[in-house]
């Protein structure tokens, strides 16, 4: 039973345009959400996070939106750059010392 779902295995975007990566979750106990970026042969790198008390968090070109009623979050990258090409993992956790639950990832390709 997947508690965190990334339904798009891949996404292709032109350089300079907006990339939108989506994530859905089922566990209403989740209150902290993160996005990780992963290059081949490297570990996941923390990108941006959002607490359930917020609906938006912005960090430079990266913005995460959270819609709690829909149990949906999205990562916006604008403008997209070729160096953004990687696999992006959505992750969620509940309060306390609970492990992260990851989605399956979305491979983003930014075409120059």
Partner 1 sequence: DTAVSQTPKYLVTQMGNDKSIKCEQNLGHDTMYWYKQDSKKFLKIMFSYNNKELIINETVPNRFSPKSPDKAHLNLHINSLELGDSAVYFCASRGIGWGKQETQYFGPGTRLLVL
Report, in Å, the least distance between residue 98 CB and partner 1: 8
What span, in angstroms and rounded, lies between the C-alpha atoms of 82 and 100?
Answer: 28
Quick one: which of 23, 19, 27, 84 has its CA closest to 49? 23
104 binds partner 1 (CB under 8 A): yes
Q: What are phi and psi of 83, to 5 degrees?
A: -70, -10
19 binds partner 1 (CB under 8 A): no
CB nearer to partner 1: pick between 7 and 14: 7
Report, in Å, the least distance between residue 74 CB and partner 1: 19
Member of 36, 66, 85, 108 binding partner 1 (CB under 8 A): 36
What is the secondary structure of 32-62 as a DSSP string? EEEEEEE-TTS--EEEEEEETT-SEEEETTE
Residues in contact with partner 1 by the rule CB under 8 A = 32, 34, 36, 41-46, 49, 51, 87, 89, 93, 97, 99-102, 104-105
């Amino acid at each position: 039973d997947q508690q965190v779902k990334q339904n798009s295995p891949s996404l292709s975007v032109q350089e300079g345009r907006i990339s939108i990566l989506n994530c859905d979750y089922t566990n209403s106990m989740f209150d902290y959400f993160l996005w990780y970026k992963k290059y081949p042969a490297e570990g996941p790198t923390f990108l941006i996070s959002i607490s359930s008390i917020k609906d938006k968090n912005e960090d430079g070109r990266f913005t995460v939106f959270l819609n709690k009623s829909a149990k949906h979050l999205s990562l916006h990258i604008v403008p997209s750059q070729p160096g953004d090409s990687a696999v992006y993992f959505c992750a969620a956790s509940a309060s306390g010392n609970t492990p992260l639950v990851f989605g399956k990832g979305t491979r983003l390709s930014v075409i120059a």
